[in-house]
Amino acid sequence: MKNSKSTYTYILLIIGVIILINLLGDRFFLRLDFTADKRFTLSKATKDILGSLKEPVTVTAYFSEELPQQFSQLRRDFKEELIEYSNRSNGKVMFEFINPNKDEATEQKAMQEGINPVLINVREKDQVKQQKAYMGAVVHHGDKKEVIPFIQSGSAMEYSLSTSIKKMTVENKPKVGILQGHGETSPNALAQVMQSLLVLYVAEPVNLDQASANLNEYKTLVIISPGDSFPPSHLVKLDEFLANGKNICIAMDRVNGDLQTASGTELKTGLEKWLEGKGVRVNPNFIIDQNCGSVTVNQQQGYMSFQTNMKFPYLPLITKFADHPVTKGLTSVLLQFASSIDFSSPGGDVTFTPLATTSEKTGTENPPLTFNINRNWQQQDFPRSGLTVCALVSGKLSGGMNSRMIIISDGDFPSNGEGQQARQIPPDNLNLMVNSIDWLSDDTGLIDLRTKEVTSRPIDQMDDSKKSMLKYLNFLLPILLIIGIGMVRYQSRRNTRIRRMNENYL
């Protein structure tokens, strides 16, 4: 009877503890983040943004209910994120969840707010059906509104929320000048870059010939793919800009590659000589890399014509990046006809930091040259390793105040093109360009959020032995684990039987 009372007491105690934990969990939110890159931990940038809020921010989350597990988890993650935002902002971030699927009027309201449904696959009774689902949010601050049409998991969720709040609450956006007048890529051909920049900056074209151009208005100048010569007076203005403590981001070509004519030539604009005065030499060569992109080639076989992708070492795929805010989190950037960058100190307090380098199997070729798509590449064609293609140089670059420059030896990698030639650029191409401008222009730290979450872990870049090891490990590990548990249990029971059979066992 006494043992029975003890059991009941024990059960009631457990139930009481569970109820208490649930009550505390409902009142005090706590989430532990064990991910390698801390993607579910609010960054310092987000905390600073939330801490500076003066007026309330309302987040209306339009999320469908009764969705498959992975989408239901996304809804829970977003709600937990909003709870953290509310706590960090001392209640200034308020939120509500609305299910647009409950009636037609609510669905119409969601679409009017800019949240459109997406089609997801749902399995019902061994059949796959498509279901309309809403997974977006609208952020309101006063009379301003920002729409997040689709919520993504991990740090992308935090980046979308924080940039939306920052965009609405920032009072004076810094100005970024997109240099024009020397054959540079126009802002219209930089659609993705401009879209990202306009979140936190006023990004506008600037021409050094215009008398109204006041460079003091700009925190950073951006020079992308100049093709014409820089007159000496313009280079003097760039020197004055640096001397005033401002920064410059340069993505330039030292060589031209034309696949239509299969020819490669050197390009001179005068900017390369100006950079040499700062100790930076962008060499007039073509980098070739065994780790590279592909080109589409038309092939004829009898009466049949077909297209095939062929590796083209003149398009280096960069996967080696420095542990620096500009490149942290990047996994692969595809360049087009890049050149190597060297540094020779001009004296004074000037430092050079490589940010991105080629693979261990790389080389260079000097123009003029003719491209041979069908060339049989050999190991001896790649005798070098770790050539710099993106670098940071900082210090007293033109006398006066300390300033910084980021130089990337390819001017085409961030361009979308225009008209019929328009295309999407790879995510990390965009990240490298925008991160470079962000780091030179902004001190809020939002740059860390854009690439905080790993974008890709391409298995095709692993060697065959590592692929095989992962394949067999994935197959055998669960089996070995089950066998191991079985052996431990068998040995444990065997030991128990031996003890019981012992004449001294009590």
65-102 pLDDT, tens per residue? 888 877 888 888 899 889 999 999 999 999 999 999 88
How far apart are alpha carbons 270 and 285 in whole angstroms?
A: 16
How far apart are alpha carbons 217 and 220 in whole angstroms?
A: 9
Tell me: pLDDT of 1 over 80.
no
How far apart are alpha carbons 102 and 186 in whole angstroms?
A: 46
pLDDT category of residue 212 using cuts at 50, 70 and 90: confident
Do residues 406 and 441 make contact, with C-beta atoms less than 8 angstroms apart?
A: no
227-250 pLDDT, tens per residue? 999 999 999 999 999 999 999 999
pLDDT category of residue 493 using cuts at 50, 70 and 90: confident
Strand partners, 202: 175
How far apart are alpha carbons 506 and 501 in whole angstroms?
A: 10
Q: What is the pLDDT of residue 456?
A: 47
How far apart are alpha carbons 223 and 62 in whole angstroms?
A: 41
Give 125-177 as a DSSP string.
TTEEEEEEE-EEEEEEETTEEEEESS--STHHHHHHHHHHHHHHH-SSPPEEE
The token pair that represents 384 in the structure block: 């070098």
How far apart are alpha carbons 409 and 255 in whole angstroms?
A: 9
Find the mean pLDDT for residues 373-402: 93
Q: What is the pLDDT of residue 124?
A: 66
Between 440 and 126, the higher pLDDT residue: 440
Is beta strand 320-321 parallel, antiparallel or unpaired with respect to 350-357? antiparallel
Tell me: pLDDT of 155 over 60.
no
Q: What is this structure's pTM?
A: 0.72
Contacts (Cβ under 8 Å, ≥6 apart) of 446: 45, 159, 162, 163, 166, 200, 438
Tell me: pLDDT of 34 over 80.
no
CATH topology of domain 39-168: Glutaredoxin (3.40.30)
Do residues 128 and 122 make contact, with C-beta atoms less than 8 angstroms apart?
A: yes
Between 373 and 384, the higher pLDDT residue: 384
Between 470 and 505, the higher pLDDT residue: 470
Task: Identify the top-confidence range among 82-91, 249-258, 495-504.
Answer: 249-258
Closest CA to 272 of 240, 229, 243: 229
Is the bond preceding residue 368 a cis peptide, omega within 30 degrees?
yes
390-419 pLDDT, tens per residue? 999 999 999 889 999 999 999 999 999 988
Find the mean pLDDT for residues 48-67: 90
Strand residues in 273-303 grouped as ranges (E): 280-282, 286-289, 292-301
Q: Where are the domains of the chain?
A: 39-168, 174-441
The token pair that represents 3 in the structure block: 């043992």
Q: What is the pLDDT of residue 69?
A: 79
CA-CA-CA-CA dihedral for 280, 281, 287, 291, to nearest 10: -10
The token pair that represents 269 in the structure block: 């604009």
Average pLDDT of the chain is 85
CATH value of 174-441 in 3.40.309.10, 2.160.20.10, 3.40.50.880, 3.30.499.10: 3.40.50.880
Strand partners, 363: 288
